Structure 1
Amino acid sequence: MSFLKNIFSGSENQNDSSNKINWNPLTDLGQLNDIIALSNEKPVAIFKHSTRCSVSRMALKQFENEFDLSDKVTPYFLDLIAYRDISNEIASRFGVTHQSPQLLLIKGGKSVYNVSHSDIDAEALKGKL
């Protein structure tokens, strides 16, 4: 039963104590400039999450359970329902098609890797660093 609870629970708390990721919330368009600058020093991962989608919730939980890259990548979390304008700007600025859920890797100011849905995988991301 706890498996089903984890998958279908309504909790969207990104700071859950079992969470291995110290997410940086992406809530302002200006942060995209910061992300681009930061990505010249250290890769940045952006996880675009739909709080209305169970597939997105499952992809997020799976990614959080597998993630062990805190020293190698700076993670940003975007609630694309609340911040759709930022999601649209990410698609435009980085030349990617909007999807949800979606994971982007930004290096040197460019999206060098993006995947969605069941292709979101922390091990695969590690291979792109």
Structure 2
Amino acid sequence: MALEKLTVIDELVKVIEEKDKVLFLKNSTTCPISHEAFRQYEKFANEMEENMYYLNVQEARSFSNEIAERFNVKHESPQVLLFKNGEVTWHASHWEITTKKLKEQY
């Protein structure tokens, strides 16, 4: 459906509280691997009937770090996180972020 950029942790927490499952991408705007991961994520989002969310690490470094601390997931970029019922149930990074894998996990 659409990609929505989040900029602070409170926005992510609100989305997680409102939905049963949320897919979220941590993206680097300067990395070619991240660019490809974003393309794969965007392709998946366009096939879905709901919003998908992301942040650009360079614009929201503290937000990115807070996600790692709060949800106990080592920071990587690019990195996709799947939240179900408020917890991270799956995550992947770098070349593991493909439309096929997103479909399998989501």
1:106-129 Cα deviation digits (max 9, x unpaired): 110001110000000222222223
Question: Are 2:82 and 1:102 equivalent residues in the alignment?
Answer: no
- Residue of structure 1 equivalent to 2:64: 87
Q: How far apart, in 2, do the equivalents of 1:106 and 1:74 lie?
A: 14
1:73-109 Cα deviation digits (max 9, x unpaired): 5311101111011101111111110000001111100
Partner SS, residue 37 of structure 1: helix
Q: How far apart, in 2, do the equivalents of 1:26 and 1:67 lie?
A: 15
Q: How far apart, in 2, do the equivalents of 1:102 and 1:70 lie?
A: 19
Q: How far apart, in 2, do the equivalents of 1:39 and 1:91 lie?
A: 20
Q: How far apart, in 2, do the equivalents of 1:110 and 1:35 lie?
A: 12
After TM superposition, the score normalised by the length of structure 1 is 0.73
Q: How far apart, in 1, do the equivalents of 2:8 and 2:45 lie?
A: 25
Partner SS, residue 58 of structure 2: coil
Residue pair 2:44, 2:102 contacting (<8 A) in 1 also: no
Identical aligned residues as a percent? 35
Q: Which is helix-richer, 1 or 2? A: 2
Residue pair 1:38, 1:44 contacting (<8 A) in 2 also: no
Number of residues of Structure 1 aligned to a counterpart in Structure 2: 106
Q: Which is strand-richer, 1 or 2? A: 2
CA distance change for structure 1 residues 44 and 69 in 2, over 3 Å: closer, same or farther?
farther
Partner SS, residue 12 of structure 2: helix
Unaligned stretches of 5+ residues in structure 1: 1-20
CA distance change for structure 1 residues 62 and 117 in 2, over 3 Å: closer, same or farther?
same
Q: How far apart, in 2, do the equivalents of 1:29 and 1:83 lie?
A: 10
- Residue of structure 2 equivalent to 1:50: 28
Residue pair 1:39, 1:106 contacting (<8 A) in 2 also: no
